Chain A
């Protein structure tokens, strides 16, 4: 039984990271109808920014992490919006979808060709030592990951719900036309969403890479986890993405222990299919009218 709890806690740790990626994905979908098929690559890449900062500029680890977040916010947030998304919005949804798929390929191949095709070890933010708590053996690094991820989530929830800018962002997501009439600077709010998405992806990247190693092909798994988390949680809100992320993380870790390694990856996908079959609006989502 303690094995089971250990797995659940490890699952909450990875799940909290998936939640970060899923929240960003949901925010983008809500505020700008951008379905970012490159989201997995957005989570893969910042770890390479940090590695590059350490390797080529000799930065210490903490400075490399900060650099990585700043570079991610600029490149994957601002440049992504201005260069990739903005010119595409007038062309409709399909070109944008295709463009983010192409961007995903670009980032993946870029990381492979310009950094390395090999999995790179990534330093732990917290020492990877085991501690025992009430009969359950925990890795200190897992606890650290969980604390950071939850702190980010709580801060984000506070920001969205309690600050003026956050509420303006929510208004933009719910109804941009009315928000604009009420004097919300809609354009700036959409830009904030992109910056926040990139920041969340960078956090997720720095937290997940010690566990999975930094590899160019990680985006596929991470992207799938984020999509599944967002859909399972229900697309219309941030809370759904958190619940979905945690659920996917737990299921993922239990699958690693109890399902054959060959089909481990399949379990979250089966979860996705079950949700689409029986609860398409997701865990916390409201039923939405079919968009035509």
Chain B
């Protein structure tokens, strides 16, 4: 398939996906279509999926493009969530709080990344591991700021052009819009000459360095931008659930972020969306297994790593290649 023919179906496909996403929670029976729309809980799950996907996109930039491991994405989510909750409670507008959340996560990413990337591969994993535990302790212990284990409740949803985002449907569209913006921004980063250096770096760091790519600087920026996406996701997570406590920002959820990106397909652009969908939906689907869903998930991840380390996207590409080969031989 040539690049041109690929482009021809890509735009209509994107439009179709966008329309489907916008209309997913809407009741269309009034228009004569047999689709009742998603209920309140379904829309909440969709919104949670988008928020999770934003954070997962960040992890994908770090893991799939810069070839590093981050074990602190949930902690960055927490930084964003607490920042937004505290700033909006103090009367600041949401837009300002949202930006500060991302900037704070970016700055922390730079501070953590500089020493960690100086040493060797995997040190970023250990430094982020330590950071995730430290942040969890801060969220839990600094009661005067974070409310400790009681958390912060009654986080207000923002309003946009005078329209309140309080109804769940409005908030879904609001998050969908921001997700689209952030997705486009990341796509642009990766497509830009600056972003292509990431790919060069992942494919062959020695060669990239000899071609003048400053490996350490690029890796550092990838980590900081990826972490900023965690901060942005947190800024949306706080008004979505309207109540935050330290638990969703502990070490275990950070592990799950890394797992979901690899399950979706690290280094592929839609991988994080698929991985986030699975991470959000699997607990719902496996509800009948009660407490065993993490056990099942862990086994599935290990099987996938053994047989298809490219994740679900890799699996799909492999199937397509197999079918095509059959068609050629037939």
Contacts and interface: CB of A to CB of B under 8 A. Distances in A.
A92 interface: yes
A31 B32 CA distance: 66
B137 A102 contact: no
A136 to B, nearest CB: 32
Contacts of A260: 141
B306 interface: yes
Scoring A84, A91, A288 by chain B CB atoms within 10 A of each residue's CB, the highest score goes to A91
A280 B130 contact: no
B35 to A, nearest CB: 37
Contacts of A91: 305-306, 309
B141 A35 contact: no
B140 A88 contact: no
Interface stretch (A68-76, A185-193, A197-205, A271-279): A271-279
B115 A277 contact: yes
Given A84-B302, A88-B306, A105 B133 contact: no
Q: Is the interface of B mostly helix, strand, loop or mixed?
A: helix
Contacts of A105: 252, 255, 294-295, 297-298
Q: Which interface class (under 10, 10 to 19, 20 to 34, 35 or more) fits A?
A: 35 or more
B259 A265 contact: no
A266 B131 CA distance: 9
A273 B120 contact: no
Given A101-B259, A265-B137, A273 B130 contact: yes
Interface string B51-65: 000000000000100
A154 to B, nearest CB: 28
A113 B115 contact: no
Contacts of B130: 224, 228, 269, 272-273
Contact of B294 (A93, A109, A269): A109
B205 interface: yes
A220 B255 CA distance: 12
19 contacts: A35-B122, A87-B307, A91-B305, A94-B63, A95-B309, A97-B69, A101-B255, A101-B259, A103-B302, A105-B252, A106-B295, A106-B302, A113-B292, A220-B251, A227-B129, A231-B126, A276-B116, A292-B205, A292-B209
